[in-house]
Structure 1
Amino acid sequence: MQDEKSNQRLLWLVAIGFFMQTLDATIVNTALPAMAASLGESPLRMQSVVVAYSLTMAMLIPASGWMADRFGTRRLFVAAIALFSLGSLFCAISHSLTQLVISRVVQGVGGALLLPVGRLAVLRAFPREQFLKAMSFVALPGLIGPLIGPTLGGWLVEYATWHWIFLINLPVGLVGGVATLALMPEGLRGAVRRFDLSGYLMLSFGMVALSLSLDGLSELGLRQATVLVLLVFGLASLVAYWLHATRQPEPLFSPRLFDIPSLTIGLLGNLFARIGSSCMPFLIPLLLQVSMGYSPSQAGMMMLPVALAGMVTKTLATRLITWLGYRQVLVLNTALVGLTMASFALVAPGQPLWLRLVQLAFFGAVNSMQFTAMNTVTLKDLDGPLASSGNSLLSMVQMLAMSMGVAAAGAVLAGYTGYFTPAGAAQTLQAFHATFATMGLMTLASAWIFWQLSPDARGVGSDPADNH
C-alpha cells in the first residue's frame, strides 16, 4: 500500500513537471510582439527566444539518461525544477534580447531534464504492464499546457506585462521542488556506463551550427559566407558523429537503431515534417497581432481551436491507422498539413470570424493526427534495450526540428519582408502570406519520405507523450 501511495505521488510530481514544460513552450509565442516593443526590437525578429529554448532541450536530451544514472532521478529532477525556475526569473528581469536569449538557455536546460528524467523515474517505479497507463496519466497535463498557454500568455501581456509569463513559473517551481524532495522516492539507479563525451560534443555542435546557420540568415544578421561555413561545419560534425558511433562500443545512440526501417523513416519524416509545421505556433500569433490588428488576448484565444481540435483528433488516430495503415494515413495527412499551412496565405482582414476558426481547427486536427501517426510508427517496432534509446532519439529530433522550423520560418519571413516594400501592414501581410506558402510546401515535400513505409504496416505503437 505504501508503494502504491508513493508511486501515485510520483505520478503527480512528474505530471507537474510536464505541465510546467509544455505550458512554457506555448505561452511565449503570443507575447513575442509585446516583448519586442519592450526591448526595442522588431517583432519579426524574435524567433531566437523560441529557438534558444528548443535547441537547448535538443542538446541536453542525449545526456539526460546518463545524468540520471550518475546523480539519481530525484536529485536531477529537483535540479531541473530549480534551473527552470531560475531561468524563468532571469527571463523576467531581462532588459535586452541578448539577456533574454541567455536566460531562455538556462530555462531550457531545466526543461530538457524535466521530461526525460520524469519519464525515466516512472519507468523505474512501475512494472512494464503498468507503464503505459502511468505515462498516459502523466501526459494529460502535457495536453492542457498547449490548450491554455497561448490564451494565458495573451491575457497576461494585455492586463499585466509580458514579464508575468515567466514569473508565474516561480510559485509552481517552488511547490514542485519542495514536494519532490519530500515525496519523490530516489528509485533504482541504472549502472553508470561510460559517457561518450566526444560523440556528445560532435552531435551537439552539429545541431547548434545548423540552427544558427538558419537563424543567422535573419535575426543575427550574419553574412552569407558565415552562414555557409556554419552549415558545412554543422553537417560535417553530424557525419563525424555517425562515423564515430559505428566504432564506439557504447555510443549515445546505437547505429543498430537504423536497421529498423520504420524507425529510420519515422525519424526522417519527423524531422522534415516538423521543420515545416513547428513554425505555426510562432507564426500565427505574429500574423494576427502584427498584420491583422488583434490584441494579445484575442490572438491567444484564436489558438484555442487548434488545441481543442488536436485533443479530439487523438481519439480517432488509432482507428484510422488500423483501417488504412501508416503509409496511406501519413502520406495523405502530410499533404493535408502542408496544404492547410499554405491556406494561411489567403488570410486577409475583413474575412468572417467563423472561417478563421474553421481554418485553425482543421489545422489543429490534421497536425495532431500527424504527430500521433509519426511518433507511433517511429517507435512501434522497438523493443528491449533499443526502446529507451529510440525514444530519446525521437525526443531529440522533435526538439531539433522545432528549433530549425522556427529559425527557418524567421529566415524566410525576413527574406520576404526585405523583398516586399516594408512600408505598412499590407506589405507585411504579403510577407506573411509568402512565408506560409513556402513553409507549407516544405511540409508537403516530406510526404515522399512516408511513402517509403511498408503498405502493410497497421499495428499502432504507443507514445503517450505524442502531444509534442
Structure 2
Amino acid sequence: MSTKDATPLSPREQRSIRMIPYIVGCALFMQMLDSTVVATALPMIADSLGTDVIRTNTIITSYLLAVAVFVPISGWAADRFGARKVFITAIVLFTLSSLACAAAQTLNQLIAARIIQGTAGAMMVPVGRIILLRRVPKDQLLSAMAVLSLPALLGPIIGPPVGGFFATYMTWHWIFLINIPVGILGVMLVLRYIRADIPDSRPPLDWLGFILSAIALASLVVSFESIGHSELTPKQLGILFSTGVITALWYIWHAKQAAFPIIDLSLLRVRSFAISVFGGNLFRFSLGSVPFMLAILLQLGFGMSAFAAGLVTFTSAIGAIVIKPIAPRIIRRFGYRNVLMYNALLTGLFIALCGFFHADTPLWWMSLILAIGGVFRSLQFTAVNTLTYADLDSNAMSRASSFAAMAQQLGISLGVACAAITLNISMAWRQGTNVTADDLFWGFIVIGGLTAISSLSFKRLPLEAGSALQPSKKE
C-alpha cells in the first residue's frame, strides 16, 4: 500500500478509484433498500401466497437472521479468497436469489430465497467496503465515504414508498425484480474497474468463534426486532435475549485466546476506531427508528397513504444529497472532533422536533425540518464512517470492515427496539391499545436524546483526530 500511495497513479487507475465508491454504493443501496422495501408489501404477498400476514413477517426476520449470522465471516472470506472474487460472487448470488424470491410460489420457497439473499447481502457490502478501503488512498477516503454514506441514508427512507408504490400500482414481485438490472450492472462495473487481488495469506476460519458470534448476533438482532414487530411472548423474548448475551460473553472470552478470531476485538485498542464504533452506533439508533416512527405517524396518525408518507419523508434524503458535495470541505475546515460532537447535538434536536408534528402542521414545515435533519445526519455519517478507518493499516481493513458492519447491524436493530419500547411504555402509561401522536412524541424525544448523547463519546477524540486523512499539499 505504501508503494502504491507513493507512486503516481495513471489516469486509468485514478478513474477506477473514483468509480469504486459508486460501485460499492450501488451494492449498499440494493441491500439497504431490500431490507426495508418488503414491509409495506406483506399484505399483498400474504394474499398472493395464500397465507396470513403474521406468518409473512418471517420474510423479514429470515433475511435479518442471515445477514446477522454471516456478516462476521465476510472479512475472513475476503482475506481467504480475494475481495474482488467474493464481491462479484455476492452480487451474483444476491441477484439470483432476488429472481428466486420473485419466482416463489409458496411462503417456504420465499423464505429460503430470502435466507440466501441475506447471506449474499452480508458478504456484499462489507467486502465492497474492504475493496474501497484498500484501493482508495487515505487522503481521498473522506470524499469516497461522502458518496458511500448516501445509500445508507436513502435505503430506509426510499424503501417504504417504493414498496408502497409497487404494492399499490404493480405486483409485489417487482420489489425483487428491480435488483436484477442493478446486479448485472454491478458485476459489469466490478469487472471493468476493480482489478483482481491475490491474498497474501490464507488465515484459517475460527469455527468456534463463527458459531458463537452467529448465535449471539442472530439472537440479539431478532430479539431487538421482535420487541416491536413480533408475537413472541415475554418469556420467549427473554430466553432469546439471554442466549444472545451469554454467547456474546463467551465469544469475548474466546477471542482473547484465539489466534485468528472471526471478530477481532483487539481493534478496539485503536482509539479512533473504538470511539467511532461506539459513538457512531449510538448515533445510528436513528437510522432505522426514525423512518419507522415517521411511517406510523404519517400513515396511522395523519391518515396519509404509504406513498404520500414516503414522499414527505423523502425530503430528508434531499437534505442528504444537498450536503454531500460540500461535506468533506466542512469536515476538513472544522475537524472531525468538532463536527462529530456538535453535529450529533443538532441531529438529535431535529429528530426531537419531529415529535411536535401534528395533523394540522403544514407540509412545508415538516419537509423543512426533515430536510435540515437529513443534512446533519448525512454530514455525521460521512465523518464517522471515514474516521472509523483513519488510524488502521491496510492489513486490518478486512477485520475492521466486518467488525463495523456487525456493530452497525446491532445499532440499527437496537434503535428500532428502543423506539418500540418507548411507544409501548407510553401506551401502557396512558392505558391505550393503539399508538397515537402522543406516544410517538416520546419516541422522537428518546431517540433524539440518545442521538445527542453520542456527542459525549466523540468529545473523547483528540483535536487532531483524522489528521491522517488530510489531502496532500499538492492537492
Tell whether 2:284 aligns with 1:274. Answer: yes
The more displaced of 10-19 and 223-232 is: 10-19
1:226 and 2:210 matched = no
**Is the CA contact (8 Å cut-off) linking 1:55 and 1:403 kept in structure 2?**
no
1:246 aligns with 2:256: yes
Is 1:35 aligned to residue 42 of structure 2? yes
Aligned partner of 1:216 among 217, 226, 229: 226
Q: Which amino acid aligns with 1:449?
A: S
Partner of 1:354 in structure 2?
364
Structure 2: how far apart are the matches of 1:377 and 1:175?
30
Task: Determine helix, strand or coil for the equivalent of 2:229.
Answer: coil
Alpha-carbon distance change, 322 to 106 in structure 1, aligned in 2, over 3 angstroms: same
SS at match of 2:361: coil
Match of 1:26 among 27, 30, 33: 33
Shift of 1:356: 0.9
Give the superposition deviation at 1:374. 2.2
Give the match for residue 306 of structure 1. Answer: 316
CA deviation after TM superposition for structure 1 residue 345, in Å: 1.7
- Does the C-alpha gap of structure 1 residues 45 and 276 become closer, same or farther in structure 2, counting only changes over 3 Å? farther
Structure 2 CA distance, aligned partners of 1:72 and 1:83?
17
CA-CA distance at 1:296 after TM superposition: 3.0
TM-superposed CA distance for 1:104, in Å, is: 3.5
Shift, 1:357, TM fit: 0.6
- How far apart are 1:360 and its partner, in Å? 0.8
TM-score for both structures, normalised by structure 1: 0.80
Matches within 5 A, 1:286-305: 286-305=296-315
- Match of residue 466, structure 2, among 454, 459, 462: 459
Task: Show the counterpart of 1:400.
Answer: 410
Whole-angstrom distance in 2 between the partners of 1:434 and 1:294: 21
1:39-66 residue CA offsets vs partner (Å, 9 max, x unmatched): 3799999987666545543442321232
Whole-Å separation in 2 of the counterparts to 1:413 and 1:324: 37
Q: What's the CA shift string for 1:200-222, capped at 9, x where partnerless?
A: 22222222222222233343332
Which residue among 427, 430, 455 is the counterpart of 1:447?
Answer: 455
SS at match of 2:388: helix
CA RMSD across the alignment = 4.0
Q: Distance in 2 between matches of 1:205 and 1:430?
A: 37
Structure-2 change in CA distance of 1:156 and 1:368 (3 Å)? same
Corresponding residue of 2:382: 372
Deviation at 1:303, TM superposition (A): 3.0
Describe the shift of the 1:292–1:138 C-alpha distance in structure 2 as closer, same or farther (beyond 3 A). Answer: closer
C-alpha distance after superposition, 1:118-153 (max 9, x if no partner): 3445666x5857974995698498489648656544
Taking the aligned partners of 1:324 and 1:72, their CA distance within structure 2 comes to 38
Matched, 1:390 2:400: yes
Partner of 1:107: 117
The equivalent residue for 1:334 is 344
Count of residues paired in the alignment: 457
Q: Does 1:84 align with 2:94?
A: yes
For residues 106 and 164 of structure 1, the distance between their equivalents in structure 2, rounded to whole angstroms, comes to 18
Name stretches of at least 5 consecutive residues in structure 1 with no aligned partner.
Answer: 464-468
CA–CA separation in structure 2 for the residues paired with 1:303 and 1:343? 14
Deviation at 1:354, TM superposition (A): 0.8
Identity of aligned residues (%): 30
The runs of 5 or more residues in structure 2 that have no matched partner are 1-9, 471-475
The answer as to whether partners of 2:319 and 2:372 remain within 8 angstroms in 1 is yes
